[in-house]
Amino acid sequence: MQQNNVALDILERVIWTALQAFLATWLILQARGDGWNAGLVLQVAGGAAAVSAVKCILALNIGNSNSAAALPGNQS
């Protein structure tokens, strides 16, 4: 996999993680009746995205060096 593809892989994982954290936090707040708290929702989504980015970068040295996957998997 080319370096450009690895960067896109990491970017995709970070974006999806942020969106999932955003939605999960918003749904939990709604279920609790706490209403909309933009600051909290964005903080959680941003924190999850940051953790995802760090995990992806570490995974380049742990798992498959051609992707952001932490498990060895296919090296081709």
pLDDT tens-place string over residues 17-61: 999 999 999 999 999 998 889 999 999 999 999 999 999 998 888
Q: Domain for residue 27, yes or no?
A: no
Higher-confidence residue: 74 or 14? Answer: 14
Q: Domain for residue 54, yes or no?
A: yes
Q: Domain for residue 44, yes or no?
A: yes
**Residue numbers of the domain that contains 38:** 33-64
Q: Domain for residue 74, yes or no?
A: no
Out of 7-11, 47-51, 66-70, the most confident range is 47-51
Q: Domain for residue 69, yes or no?
A: no
The pLDDT of residue 13: 94
Q: For residue 54, how many other CB atoms are within 10 A of its CB?
A: 11
Nearest alpha carbon to residue 56 among 14, 16, 21: 14
DSSP-assigned letter for residue 33: T
Contacts 24+ apart (CB under 8 A), 64-71: 66/1, 66/6, 67/1, 67/6, 67/9, 68/6, 68/9, 68/10, 68/13
Q: Is the pLDDT confidence value at 70 over 60?
A: yes
Q: What total of structural domains would you count in the chain?
A: 1
Q: Domain for residue 28, yes or no?
A: no
